[in-house]
């Protein structure tokens, strides 16, 4: 997994992490969907979203692109509204492109996402994370997420997950 490899690298945070701006993507060409599926696979390997799933999320959910000032794309995420708790958005996936990881971009990204919640008429975020995914767990803890559950085999055999929430 990418994070297992990443865990071996030294932290290279610059003193001032790049400012991240989020843009909701509302117009999807098939080329863009293919590009997003490629980025998801780069971040999550075989668990990355396919074009089929991204097309549904584009129509029925929220797909965001993270860019640094100047325009370079540094990451992305997909959100869906939790049916039984409409003020809560489920983070289907969030990633920083590999060359920008471990530089504070994820932290800026999450801050920007939290700031944007009222725009989506939401007041909270819910997500799952592999307890071994140190960068992600640290990112969420430092953003103020709380552990609300631990579910064995959440995504099938061998895929246990922590469930975390931000309010």
Ligand X SMILES: CC(C)(COP(=O)(O)OP(=O)(O)OC[C@H]1O[C@@H](n2cnc3c(N)ncnc32)[C@H](O)[C@@H]1OP(=O)(O)O)[C@@H](O)C(=O)NCCC(=O)NCCS
Taking the complex as a whole, the smallest distance from the CB of residue 2 to ligand X amounts, in Å, to 5
| Of 33 and 93, CB closest to ligand X | 93
77, 93 in Cβ contact below 8 A? yes
For binding to ligand X (CB under 6 A), which residues are involved?
2-3, 6-7, 9, 11, 43-44, 94-96, 101-107, 129, 133-136, 138-139, 142
Residue 94's nearest CA partner among 135, 52, 149, 144 is: 135
Taking the complex as a whole, the smallest distance from the CB of residue 161 to ligand X amounts, in Å, to 8
| Of 11 and 27, CB closest to ligand X | 11
Nearby residues of 166 by Cβ (< 8 Å), 6 or more positions away: 114, 124, 125, 126, 140, 143, 144, 145, 146
Strands (DSSP E) found in the chain: 20-24, 62-68, 73-82, 85-96, 124-129, 146-151, 161-166
Report the residue number whose CB is nearest to ligand X.
106
| Of 121 and 144, CB closest to ligand X | 144
| Of 6 and 117, CB closest to ligand X | 6
Taking the complex as a whole, the smallest distance from the CB of residue 20 to ligand X amounts, in Å, to 9
Taking the complex as a whole, the smallest distance from the CB of residue 109 to ligand X amounts, in Å, to 7
């Amino acid at each position: 997994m990418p994070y297992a490899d990443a865990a071996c690298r030294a932290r290279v945070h610059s003193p001032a992490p790049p400012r991240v701006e989020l843009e909701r993507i509302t117009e999807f060409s098939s080329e863009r969907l293919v590009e997003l599926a490629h980025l998801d696979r780069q971040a999550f390997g075989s668990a990355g979203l396919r074009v089929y799933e991204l097309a549904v999320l584009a129509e029925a959910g929220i797909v965001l692109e993270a860019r640094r000032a100047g325009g370079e794309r540094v990451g992305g995420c997909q959100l869906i509204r939790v049916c039984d708790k409409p003020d809560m958005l489920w983070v289907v996936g969030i990633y920083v492109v590999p060359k920008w990881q471990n530089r504070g971009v994820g932290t800026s990204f999450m801050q920007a996402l939290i700031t944007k919640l009222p725009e989506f008429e939401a007041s909270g975020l819910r997500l799952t994370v592999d307890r071994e995914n140190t960068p992600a767990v640290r990112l969420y803890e430092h953003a103020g997420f709380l552990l609300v559950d631990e579910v064995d085999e959440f995504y099938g055999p061998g895929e246990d997950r922590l469930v975390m929430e931000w309010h």
